[in-house]
Amino acid sequence: MSAVLSAGQAAAGDTSAELATESHLAHTYHPLEVMVESGEGAWVTDTAGGRYLDCLAAYSAVNFGHGHPALIAAAKQQLDRITLTSRAFHNDKLEPFAAALAALAGKDMVIPMNTGAEAVESGIKVARAWGYRVKGVAQGMANIIVADGNFHGRTTTIISFSNDPVATDDFGPFTPGFRSVPYGDAAALEAAIDENTVAVLIEPIQGEAGIVIPPAEYLPAVREITTRHNVLFIADEIQSGLGRTGATFQCDNVGVVPDLYLLGKALGGGIVPVSAVVGNSDILGVLGAGEHGSTFGGNPLAAAVGTAVVELLATGEMQERARMLGARLDARLTALIGRGVVAVRTAGLWAGIDIDPELATGREVCERLMLRGVLAKDTHGSTIRLAPPIVVEAADLDIAIDQLEAVLEELAGR
């Protein structure tokens, strides 16, 4: 443990000097002062040779760890064959990928895209087209219900239904057709539905909001309400899905099957951006040729990596591992309540930790964790999140929590 600590400290000192030079990057991020150079499994190494346990895993895009052998092998093999054809032609990797992903989700059709935001945009377009062509909503009248505190990405339409002023200020005018209701309140959601409602779009757990887990009865109620009103239930599982919460989808954990899954992040194995909308052909089949697309969507490299990701998940081992390690994470974090921690929310290997705001901001805790060789990210105010790769060793997970404990003691004693 002290080796981890000194390596992290030495590295932080060296890299911050390097990072002090003028940047040519727009100021849209405020990264921790660590210059990562390489990674393996749950660990990354910086340019000074310092090692850090990665407890963010690129917001769950690296669920299976840095450089997972099966995923790297699939990518390397495909790099030597062909990487991009566009959808103007078939490629031999895409149909098998779609079939495997649809089977994993228990659905029969896939729209392949690249980033998460594109999957969300695709879901919105599908829902509107379904509303006009199948449900019979009057042209231009469709509305979609979303939840307060949502995070679905950064495009102009998606920020149109964000409640976060940092995401929206000075970016208007906004796309109409969305109604936001309190998250976790099924009655409010039902009250917002009218004859023009085509979909409900929600995160089964709100990740960016701080790993906010709704009451157990919420998602089943949303399913029942949307079915009764002939409204599509779109689950944005871009961060919560693909193993993170101890199941293939967080919806599985609460016994709910949405109409559409929006997937991204881990679907690309941390190698290339791969996202998808997954559903049944009675819904996804409403789109015709030319009505939607993406130059890179469904490219053979992405499809090869995505197929390897689905194969990893098909055995259930990753989900089981997240469940087991998650129970350990939950027990150890819960023990910190009252000792600098105000509240803890976990779902599998995913934790939101509210630090006592009197003690420190989330940012400050993350900076101190970094000096101790643990990389984590604050969400809002005094909340930090932990989402290590699922391949993390139990002993390494313990190191991360030991270091958090040490940071809290340090802060209490200053």
Ligand X SMILES: *Cc1c(COP(=O)(O)O)cnc(C)c1O
What amino acid positions are annotated as catalytic residues?
Answer: 151, 236, 265
Which letter does DSSP use for residue 220 in this model?
H
- Under the criterion CB under 6 A, does residue 306 sit at the interface with ligand X? no
Spell out the SS3 assignment of 258-323: CCEEEECHHHHCCCCCCEEEEECHHHHCCCCCCCCCCCCCCCHHHHHHHHHHHHHHHCCHHHHHHH
From the CB of 301, what's the least distance to ligand X, in Å? 17
Nearer to ligand X, 59 or 174 (CB): 59
Looking at beta carbons, which residue is closest to ligand X? 116
One of 19, 35, 59, 292 touching ligand X (CB under 6 A): 59
Nearer to ligand X, 78 or 250 (CB): 250
Nearer to ligand X, 292 or 328 (CB): 292
State the Cα–Cα distance between residues 207 and 239, nearest whole angstrom. Answer: 7
Site for ligand X in 101-120 (CB under 6 A): 115-117, 120
- Under the criterion CB under 6 A, does residue 236 sit at the interface with ligand X? yes
One of 78, 143, 239, 307 touching ligand X (CB under 6 A): 239
Helices H / strands E in the chain, number of each:
15, 15
From the CB of 165, what's the least distance to ligand X, in Å? 19
Interacting span for ligand X (CB under 6 A) from 24-32, 45-53, 131-139, 147-155: 147-155
State the Cα–Cα distance between residues 373 and 96, nearest whole angstrom. Answer: 41
Site for ligand X in 185-204 (CB under 6 A): 203
- Under the criterion CB under 6 A, does residue 234 sit at the interface with ligand X? no
Nearest by Cα to 53 from 4, 9, 13: 4
One of 43, 52, 64, 151 touching ligand X (CB under 6 A): 151
278: alpha, beta or left? (left if phi > 0; alpha if psi -120 to 50): beta
First vs last C-alpha separation in the chain = 23
Nearer to ligand X, 91 or 162 (CB): 162
From the CB of 25, what's the least distance to ligand X, in Å? 17
CA 351 distance to own-chain centroid: 13
Site for ligand X in 152-181 (CB under 6 A): 152-153
Nearer to ligand X, 8 or 270 (CB): 270
To the nearest 10 degrees (0 to 180), the angle between helices 394-412 and 2-19 is 70
State the Cα–Cα distance between residues 242 and 138, nearest whole angstrom. Answer: 36
- Under the criterion CB under 6 A, does residue 207 sit at the interface with ligand X? yes
What are the structure tokens assigned to 340, written together?
């600098």
From the CB of 239, what's the least distance to ligand X, in Å? 3
What is the size of the binding site for ligand X (CB under 6 A)?
15
DSSP 120-157: HHHHHHHHHHHIIIII-PPTT--EEEEETT----SSHH
Contact positions toward ligand X, by CB under 6 A? Answer: 59, 115-117, 120, 151-153, 203, 207, 236, 238-239, 264-265
